Amino acid sequence: MVKKIIVTGIFYCWISFLPDVALAQASEEKEVALQASELTNAIIQYRADKGSLDRFYYLKTSPERISRISDLDKQYLKRIEQYNYSRLSNEGKVDYTLFKRNLTNDLRILELDRQRSSAAKSYLPFADDVYAFEKQRRRGATIHAGQYAAKMNEWTSATRELIKKLDADKNLDLTGALAAEQLAADVREGLKNIHEFYNGYDPQYTYWMDASYKGVDSLLKVYAMQLPVQGRKNAASADDGSGIIGKPIGRDELISQLSQEFIPYTPEELVAIAEKEFAWCDKELLKATGEMGYGTDWKKAMEKVKNTYVPEGKQPEMILDLYNQSIDFIKKKDLISIPPIAEETWRMIMMTPQRQLVNPFFTGGEVISISYPTNTMVHSDKMMSMRGNNPHFSRATVHHELIAGHHLQGFMNQRFRNYRNFNTPFWVEGWALYWELILWDLGFPRGPEDKIGMLFWRMHRCARIIFSLNYHLGKWTPQQCIDFLVDRVGHERANAEGEVRRSFVGGYSPLYQVAYMIGGLQFYALKKELVDKGKLTYKQYHDAVLQENQLPVEMIRALLINKPPAKDFTSTWRFYPLDHQASNP
């Protein structure tokens, strides 16, 4: 018999086959469809091309790197515009939308890099000269050692003068200082690679340059260290006593980044959502407080919960017990498919005291990093760590970090649609937070102490939205954020300080802390749309999500409800109407 077969929506072929061959062909096509779309090759090739260019033009601030990566982005934008959008599969339309978004945003970021690097060159005016020598070095050009030595002496003298002038510079803000620091780091790296290439191999270079290189490198190291110090000193008026000096990005940039993440809400609307969710938490917290016999004094009830911490040396044992409880609960409810190797391969490490200053709670993935006191901590810090990581608080977060949260996410990302690189914290953190929501709904907390522990984290995620957006809107200072976590959530003060420091100077994007609860509410809204209405089981819904890899949740929704995005897509999914009750009415 003869039959027409459509292969991945890209081309057609005619083949003859027997019925068993037809079944095999259908199975193979299903396997292909689970891993690819029409844009898979373009996305994989772009990732490889960009990787090649990043390795070759490795100095982040060099004009040639910024120009070359910009050209690459424009080349791929032109390439994907050649696709016939209407003929793409649903998966292909989602990939097209997100790939185009990423390329466009990368061009925006590169332009910002160009502007910052250009402004920073007044603090290191010989950077382009170094870059020119390094460009020749990459292809092994012969350097005239005497002329290079003369240049090196000029750079040494110039750096000494720059160091002398820096202390009197009152105009250098923190943003400019960090850009200049990056420029200085790149110049040092360029000089280092030149020196390591020629020194000892080229006799003339070795004769002229060994001592000269060490001198300029030492000065540049000092200068690079002093730049952010001066920037922070000039910004000292912004220190409210917390010692945390970040940089609020402002409302316009917040809206731009929200649009990039397909979140069609203003910062003020997101704060209103968080306040509604917080109000629900307050009601549940008072119920649990009453059940514990403390009336309405929730702080006394929380104090009792905090003091359930396990003895020193026993935290790993407690974590394993909570993991076993959660995995048994998830399996009993048949909530998601759990590959045996995922269960087999997660493991523990202990978090260092240095990391605990920035992250006072454990983190996870394939490796769960346990935050608990070490011998080098002072007594007060030890007690705060133990109290803040008690078993009832941890009940909400072990499954968040392992299964079905971050560990299972990472496991599945390596096995399904691995070509997708549309990283978003609204998927990463939102998915893990979503499991806290539904395990609450399904009865995972065993009593009021567990409820207070799980509510602590839920309030914490609401508070993250409120304090981080108010900070970036210029309404709150870091100290106000710390006090809010202590007074409204019940944080230990040292843990609150660590949380705020992590949020504003820990390298996280301005929307990262927002993404936990907002992403979780997106997944929760989609669960209501599909599972609560009987269209999918929990297991079908959850398995389907994890087979799509990292996508903005609105794109997950587009695939699951079979309504692909239009070519000129703009986010419109109002997943949480502001007149809506909290997520657990």
pLDDT tens per residue across span 235-266: 766 667 777 777 889 999 999 999 999 999 99
Q: Which residues of 177-208 are buried (b: 16+ CB within 10 A; e: fewer)?
A: bbbbbbbbbbbbebbebbbebbeeeeeebeeb
- Supply the pLDDT for residue 585: 43
Q: pLDDT exceeding 90 applies to what percent of the chain?
A: 75
Contact 376, 515 (CB under 8 A): no
Contact 388, 491 (CB under 8 A): yes
Give the least confident one: 255-264, 332-341, 436-445, 486-495. 486-495
Give the least confident one: 65-74, 355-364, 443-452, 464-473. 355-364
Q: pLDDT exceeding 70 applies to what percent of the chain?
A: 92
367-370/347-350 β-pairing: parallel
- Supply the pLDDT for residue 376: 85
For the chain, the straight-line distance linking the first and the last C-alpha, in angstroms and rounded, comes to: 58
Query: Which tokens is 458 given?
Result: 């839920």
- Supply the pLDDT for residue 11: 33
**Whole-number Å distance between alpha carbons of 287 and 292:** 9
**Whole-number Å distance between alpha carbons of 78 and 147:** 44
Give 498 or 17, the one with higher predicted confidence: 498
Query: What pairs with residue 2 in β-bridges?
Result: 16
Q: What is the pLDDT of residues 470-489, one digit of tens each?
A: 999 999 999 999 999 999 99
Query: What's 488's DSSP letter?
Result: I
- Supply the pLDDT for residue 522: 98
Three-class SS state of 413: helix
Give the least confident one: 33-47, 318-332, 349-363, 503-517. 349-363
Q: What is the pLDDT of residues 9-58, one digit of tens each?
A: 333 343 344 456 555 555 666 676 678 999 999 999 999 999 999 999 99
11-16/2-7 β-pairing: antiparallel
Q: Which residues of 154-174 are buried (b: 16+ CB within 10 A; e: fewer)?
A: ebbeebeebeeebeebeebbb
- Supply the pLDDT for residue 360: 67
From the list 496, 492, 437, 425, the residue with the least C-alpha distance to 467 is 496
- Supply the pLDDT for residue 118: 95
Query: Which tokens is 466 given?
Result: 């409120």
Q: Is the pLDDT of residue 546 over 80?
A: yes
Give the least confident one: 100-104, 141-145, 184-188. 141-145
Average pLDDT, the chain: 90
Q: Is the pLDDT of residue 501 over 60?
A: yes
Q: How many CB atoms lie within 10 A of CB 464?
A: 25
- Supply the pLDDT for residue 22: 56
**Whole-number Å distance between alpha carbons of 460 and 453:** 11
Residues contacting 141, CB < 8 A, separation 6+: none
- Supply the pLDDT for residue 499: 86
Q: What is the pLDDT of residues 69-108, one digit of tens each?
A: 999 999 999 999 999 999 999 999 999 999 999 999 999 9
- Supply the pLDDT for residue 388: 86
Query: Which tokens is 310 given?
Result: 């396990």
- Supply the pLDDT for residue 139: 93
The winner for highest mean pLDDT among 18-22, 150-154, 286-290, 490-494 is 286-290
- Residue written as tokens 């509410």? 521
- Residue written as tokens 């917080």? 278
Q: What is the pLDDT of residues 230-239, one digit of tens each?
A: 988 887 666 6
The residue-averaged pLDDT of 190-209 equals 93
- Supply the pLDDT for residue 20: 61
